[in-house]
Amino acid sequence: MATESTGAPAGAPAPQERGKQQAKPAAAKDTPTTGGDAAGEQKLTPAQLKAKAKAEKAARRAKAKEVKEAPPAAAAADAKGGKGGKGGKQEGGQSGSQQHGKSVPGRRPSVTGRRPSIAVVKEDPRSSIPECFSHVPMAKRIQTSQAHKDVHPAVLAVGQQMATFALKDSIARLEATLLAFKKVIESYETPKGNSLSRHFVPHVLNPQIEYLTECRPMSFPMGNAIRFLKSQVNKFDIDTPEDEAKESLLEFIDIFINERITLAEVVISKNAAELIDEDGVVLTYGRHRLVEKTILRAKADGKNFAVSIIDDPYDQGGKELAKTLQQAGIRVFYSPNLGGLRAHLERASNVLLGTEAIFANGSLLAPAGTADVAMAASAANVKVVALCETINFDRERVSVDSLTYNEIDPERCSVESFRLMFDNTHSKYITGVITEFESGTDFAPAQAILTLLRKREDPTIA
Amino acid sequence: MAPSQTSYAPTLGKLLKSLNSQPLEASIESLVYLLKRRQVKGDDIANAIAHMLLQVVAKSKWQSVDQLLAKVSNTGLRLAQSAPSEQVIGNVVRRVMGLIRDEASEDRNADDMADSVSDLSQLPTTPTMPSRPGPTPLRAATLPMSRSMFNLLCVSETVSSPGTGASTPMSQGASANMHALRSEVIDGIEEIMDEISQADDQIAGFADIQIHPGDYVLAYLPSPTVERFLVKAAAKRRFTVFLASGDRQEPGEVPHAALCKKLNGLGVNTISLASNGLMAYMPRVNKVVIGAKAVYANGGVSTESGCSIAARAAREYSKPVIVLSGVYKFCPADPSDDVTEFERGDSSAFVDYADGEAVDALEVENIVAEYLPPQYVDVYVTNL
């Protein structure tokens, strides 16, 4: 992954998908178009491109209209539109919100049997969510034909992959989103009498973001990256030539992916690998990309150690991790559920945890069960180290319990079987956080995150 | 081999029914195997042990109190050793032995037996089962149970000492008393059995004190005791139950379906949590109810695996943890180091043997029982 070129993503918008590609009929249906598009676009002249984009848009409009006519009853007041993500959706001036209003009926998931044959055939999956968790958002599958007419095909595909959890990890989603946005920028043409810096965000970018948020609540790094991207667009002078602006945006995204994702992964795994003791036992929960990289890196550095994996029985990512590690010649202890936690902690020398996000108060958002592991580990006086790219840091929001920011597993959203995807780990249970940025100490306490973020707001990047 | 196998169905119910028709030694043997295979679990254990000791008292031959105590103690030892993690076995055996001693001393006082005290003083009041040698059990060469292949895996018990040899001389009239003693002891054991069977109901009587309207109650792996507790509360209160269990359920299947149905019928909502970690739900939960397998003298609780996860999470959010336990589960002993260890169970369910790669790769440890330290418990509800 570290050496992979992020510059020219030819086919699918997500070269990083390590997840299983199964079961996503809608996305599969759409992907060929996207691939063809991408390949074509790179060869066409600007004029041809323009024509093509126009034709595409017309086709999409027709499609959207069709859908609009089909379920007229579905026009129920759209709560989704106003809700949106965090990324400042409402900047889209007058015409933006008009457009938005018009397209509302089309974006509602149809209740008739139009849905592809996915697992849930219920009318509204949200209706089965128990009352006490009804505020928690949940990913949902939106048929591509019902998406907003301005949604770019590449984004459509990413949205489907996110809704089906083919793209699961927050960073994988971020990368796919950014690559899709590159396509959006490439195919963007500023209408006459407008300027890119004024027109692009409200009329082109925001619908994409809205669609992605509807497919699955935005991950924290996505929110951060989009904020950076928008501020980048706003920096352009109103007279900046379009080509120049687009070129600079594309370059910005490339640098962003390189620095904040690819390099970050290498640096974090290198730093974290140094923490693994010779002849120690590293305990981890489930499977996280950074933890896996770190362990393999430490092994490659010639260290001799064992790994204790506590798995989530509902996810079983740990089993896959165990196989990978075994192939690398590492001794693996495996507990299929948290019941074995205390027994495993007795021999563990430190705990490595992967995270989805870190809040401004230092608490971690991580896969459900992480909090239990961190708490038991700190009770057993075992070091708990969280691995996290700085792009996952949220510097505005705080969270003290797991019901503030969370997601419901769409496969398990009824009273018979209910599951929250994440939980909240208080910073007092964390010995340290390893990020790619603190290259001097490599071991930033969770409380120092705000300082880190201030540093991170260096004008060189944002 | 085959014909005998078909008649042999290893369930506790069958065993208890056949107690009267089978020779005593065969019954004990089959209960030992049920315990060793962990086919008798939870609250059934106490009941089964009481039944078995009743048989020992009723069927075996004994001329003196000492002999009876030795027999009971010896049988109890064998049963306890076959499931060392089940403290309840020792508890019931101790209860029965205490009962015998009480009855015996009453009789002797009536007979003005001067030397009865010496007998009592020789028996420790809280016998630690493994350290007490007893007389060699009557081991017939061919017992019906010994055909089981399980025997091949057993280490033959090495019971060294031939007997305690502390029998006190009996007066002439004593043997007549023995008959009366036998029926008194049997009555006493039946009382113990009654107490065991009523414990759940009595505990459930406290349900409406602990559970309030609008509560969210987390029940981790509800045992029959916990189930009855919740159902009883549901008759009076409207609340919500979170059901959690450590192992994976497929999306279609509902764990504890019978309990859910019962509770829903009474107007109580149930939510089955498909999650291993419980921290995420704790802010919502008002109290956690856990069924104990045994309670130690220091207040520590022997529980199903995973309960300490629930209890720790509850402690983090300062939610009360309620432990339900009949008095017969209270052990006089403090937990030893062996106890704070974990009981490991079958690991084959977690990795498919078809997945050869995984079978090679993993050292699977499946913990089935664990110890919950007393500091995580807020309330003990018992049947007293």
Give pLDDT tens digits for A163-204. Answer: 888 888 889 999 999 999 999 999 988 888 888 888 888 888
Q: What pLDDT shows up at residue B242?
A: 92
Q: What pLDDT shows up at residue B375?
A: 92
Enumerate residues 424 to 443 of chain A having a beta carbon within 8 A of any beta carbon in chain B.
424-426
Last residue of a domain, one of B146, B176, B197: B197
Q: What pLDDT shows up at residue B84?
A: 82
Task: State whether B362 and A322 contact (CB < 8 Å).
Answer: yes
Instruction: Find the residue in A nearest to B306 (Cα).
Output: A339
Percent of chain B with pLDDT over 70: 76
Task: Write out pLDDT tens, residues A61-82.
Answer: 655 555 444 444 333 333 333 3
- ipTM, 2 decimals? 0.76
Last residue of a domain, one of B197, B217, B239: B197
A280 and A362 part of one domain: yes
Least trusted range by pLDDT, from A91-100, A352-361, A431-440, B282-291: A91-100
Contact A441, A426 (CB under 8 A): no
> Does residue A288 belong to any structural domain of this protein?
yes
Task: Write out pLDDT tens, residues A270-295.
Answer: 989 988 989 999 999 999 999 999 99
Q: Mean pLDDT for chain A?
A: 75
B97 and B76 part of one domain: yes
Q: What pLDDT shows up at residue B172?
A: 52
Residues with Cβ within 8 Å of residue B153, at least 6 apart in sequence = none
Domain residue limits at B266: 205-381
Q: What pLDDT shows up at residue A412?
A: 84
CATH of the domain at B213: 3.40.50.10470
A51 and A153 part of one domain: yes
Q: What pLDDT shows up at residue B133?
A: 41
pLDDT band at B287 (very low <50, low <70, confident <90, very high): very high
Among residues B331, B209, B221, B338, which one has the least CA distance to residue B276? B221
Task: State whether B277 and A334 contact (CB < 8 Å).
Answer: no
Cβ neighbours around A44 below 10 Å, total: 13
A40 and A81 part of one domain: yes
A199 and A279 part of one domain: no
B249 at interface of A, judged by CB pairs closer than 8 A: yes
Task: State whether A334 and B279 contact (CB < 8 Å).
Answer: no
Report how many domains make up chain B: 2
A190 and A334 part of one domain: no
Q: What pLDDT shows up at residue A457?
A: 62
A244 and A299 part of one domain: no
pLDDT band at A453 (very low <50, low <70, confident <90, very high): low
A98 at interface of B, judged by CB pairs closer than 8 A: no
Mean pLDDT confidence for B285-291: 93
A285 and A431 part of one domain: yes
Task: State whether B363 and A332 contact (CB < 8 Å).
Answer: yes
Enumerate residues 311 to 350 of chain A having a beta carbon within 8 A of any beta carbon in chain B.
312-314, 316, 319, 322-323, 325-327, 331-344
pLDDT > 90? residue A3: no
pLDDT > 90? residue A4: no
Q: Which of A141-155, A189-203, B215-229 holds the top average pLDDT? A: B215-229
Task: State whether A325 and B361 contact (CB < 8 Å).
Answer: yes
B69 and B137 part of one domain: yes
B156 and B264 part of one domain: no
Last residue of a domain, one of A233, A264, A295: A264
Three-state SS for chain B is CHHHHHHCCCCHHHHHHCCCCCCHHHHHHHHHHHHHCCCCCCCHHHHHHHHHHHHHHHHCCCCCHHHHHHHHHHHHHHHHHHCCCCHHHHHHHHHHHHHHHHHHHHHHHHHCCCCHHHHHHHCCCCCCHHHCCCCCCCCCCCCHHHHCCHHHHCCCCCCCCCCCCCCCCCCCCHHHHHHHHHHHHHHHHHHHHHHHHHHHHHHHCCHHHHCCCCCEEEEECCCHHHHHHHHHHHHHCCCEEEEECCCCCCCCCCCCHHHHHHHHHCCCEEEEECCCCCCCCHHHCCEEEEECCEECCCCCEEEECCHHHHHHHHHHCCCCEEEECCHHHECCCCCCHHHHCCEEECCCCCCCCCCHHHHHHCEECEEEEEEECHHHCCEEECCC
Q: What pLDDT shows up at residue A257?
A: 93
pLDDT > 70? residue A318: yes
Enumerate residues 263 to 282 of chain B having a beta carbon within 8 A of any beta carbon in chain A.
269-282
> Does residue A16 belong to any structural domain of this protein?
no
Q: Which residue has the higher pLDDT, B292 or B384?
A: B292
> Does residue A3 belong to any structural domain of this protein?
no
Task: State whether A337 and B246 contact (CB < 8 Å).
Answer: yes
Q: What pLDDT shows up at residue B151?
A: 55
Least trusted range by pLDDT, from A19-33, B55-69, B293-307, B369-383: A19-33
pLDDT band at B122 (very low <50, low <70, confident <90, very high): very low
Task: Write out pLDDT tens, residues B293-321.
Answer: 999 998 899 888 888 889 999 998 999 99
B270 and B363 part of one domain: yes
B217 and B338 part of one domain: yes
A308 and A247 part of one domain: no
Task: State whether A319 and B312 contact (CB < 8 Å).
Answer: no
Cβ neighbours around A42 below 10 Å, total: 11
Task: Write out pLDDT tens, residues A408-423.
Answer: 988 888 888 888 999 9
pLDDT > 50? residue B128: no
Distance from CA of A413 to the nearest CA of B (A): 9
> Does residue A5 belong to any structural domain of this protein?
no
pLDDT > 70? residue A13: no
Mean pLDDT confidence for A86-105: 38
Least trusted range by pLDDT, from B96-105, B269-278, B330-339: B330-339
Domain residue limits at A213: 25-264
Q: What pLDDT shows up at residue A82?
A: 37
B7 and B156 part of one domain: yes
Q: What pLDDT shows up at residue A76?
A: 38
> Does residue A172 belong to any structural domain of this protein?
yes
CB-nearest partner of B246 from A339, A375, A425:
A339
Q: What pLDDT shows up at residue A373?
A: 93
Last residue of a domain, one of A240, A264, A288: A264
Q: Mean pLDDT for chain B?
A: 78
B213 and B141 part of one domain: no
A220 at interface of B, judged by CB pairs closer than 8 A: no
Q: Which residue has the higher pLDDT, B312 or B41?
A: B312
A193 and A292 part of one domain: no
Q: Which residues of A touch B309 (CB under 8 A)?
A: 338-339, 341, 372, 376
CATH of the domain at A450: 3.40.50.10470
> Does residue A7 belong to any structural domain of this protein?
no
B151 and B232 part of one domain: no
Report how many domains make up chain A: 2
> Does residue A367 belong to any structural domain of this protein?
yes
Last residue of a domain, one of B181, B197, B213: B197
pLDDT band at B36 (very low <50, low <70, confident <90, very high): confident
A144 and A199 part of one domain: yes
Helix axes A170-186, A153-163, angle to 10 degrees: 170
Last residue of a domain, one of A264, A288, A317: A264
Distance from CA of B228 to the nearest CA of A (A): 20
Task: State whether B368 and A339 contact (CB < 8 Å).
Answer: yes
B263 and B350 part of one domain: yes
Q: What totals of helices (H) and strands (E) does chain A contain, helices first?
A: 16, 11
CATH of the domain at B139: 1.20.120.420
Instruction: Find the residue in B nearest to A414 (Cα).
Output: B271
A144 and A210 part of one domain: yes
Mean pLDDT confidence for A257-276: 91
Q: Which of B32-36, B118-122, B317-321 holds the top average pLDDT? A: B317-321
B182 and B250 part of one domain: no
pLDDT band at A102 (very low <50, low <70, confident <90, very high): very low
Least trusted range by pLDDT, from A344-358, A359-373, B27-41: B27-41
B215 and B191 part of one domain: no
> Does residue A335 belong to any structural domain of this protein?
yes
pLDDT > 50? residue B216: yes
User: From start to end of A254-295, where are the E strands?
Assistant: 281-285
Q: What pLDDT shows up at residue B240?
A: 93
Least trusted range by pLDDT, from B35-39, B50-54, B335-339: B335-339
CB-nearest partner of B279 from A312, A342, A372:
A372
B72 and B107 part of one domain: yes
A243 and A284 part of one domain: no
